[in-house]
Structure 1
Amino acid sequence: MKAFFLSLAVLSFQATAAGYGPWQFGMTKSDVSSVQGYAPYSEVQATGGLETANGEWAGKKKYVSFIFDSRGLSRIQVWVYEGPNINDAGESWREAYEYLNKNFGEIEVPQIIQDASSLPANSQALSLAAKAHVDSVGKVQMAPKAMPDGQSIFSSFMKSNVQGKPYYYVFVYYSRP
């Protein structure tokens, strides 16, 4: 009987331990900044959160930002790409698509419409369509069709203007629902 309750406690912890990598929703700023191997962490004045330039995503070093609310860590934002090159941004969006597809299953890309009779588009074709969409509209998003328990995951590919020139971002967000 004791083993049964211990098993329930372990299952309960796993179900509530959503987040990304070593960072779990509900952690305090102190908890996040004490995670070894990713320091230094710095304060982000605009959000009141933290960030590190030493995060990791898909085996690559990336900026990772952490946003908090009254219940602790509520959103983790991975900066997959930031820069002026739409081709590099499109490639980063393709990598995000493949990462999400591999780790969470089928991906929904609602803004990119395909002919109903066409074969499913591969990540390269979706990347080309996403670049065209972002250049004309400014933003495209994607997300797994089936969300893991305890979190919402999605990616944004966006364009803004910096000093009158196009500038692109690709983010992957892990959020507490």
Structure 2
Amino acid sequence: MRILYDETAIANRIDEMAQAMANDLPKDFLLAPVLTGAFIFAADLIRALHRCGADPLVDFVQLSSYGGARSSSGVVTLLKDFSVDVKGRHVLLVDDVLDTGRSLHFGKGMIADRGAAAVKTCVLVKKLTGHAEDLNPDYIGFEAGPDDFLVGYGMDDDGRQRGLPLIGAG
């Protein structure tokens, strides 16, 4: 495994992203992490936002297009829906990696269709691939190569290596 980004680089970038979000978004926005991959990133992002004076409401959504495989099936499945109504809210959809773009596109569309006042997107890592969906996340932590299989910091290899405190490529 190659280490792409270590703990210090990740912490510094999350602080920078949180400051930008705190400046851009209303104080009471809804932060919506996509389970399961974004949970570690989201936890650190929420704490960084707090240090910047933001106090978002947090609710999770779970989407899947991989199903344990190393490549997307091409079909996005809603596994866990929101617990709160997104209508009229400013929503920040937070995901771990932008690869094909299908999950982020699906989630953003679902939130917009439900009447959110605004939907912004954030990814920890944007892979430099040809995305199936035309997406330009509002906030991007890092970039990775098109063939990098990412692990660590919430990203996994069939459920393993999520707890690595770094972002690695296998």
**TM-score, normalization by structure 2:** 0.27
Q: Which has the higher strand share?
A: 1
**TM-score, normalization by structure 1:** 0.26
Q: Which has the higher helix share?
A: 1
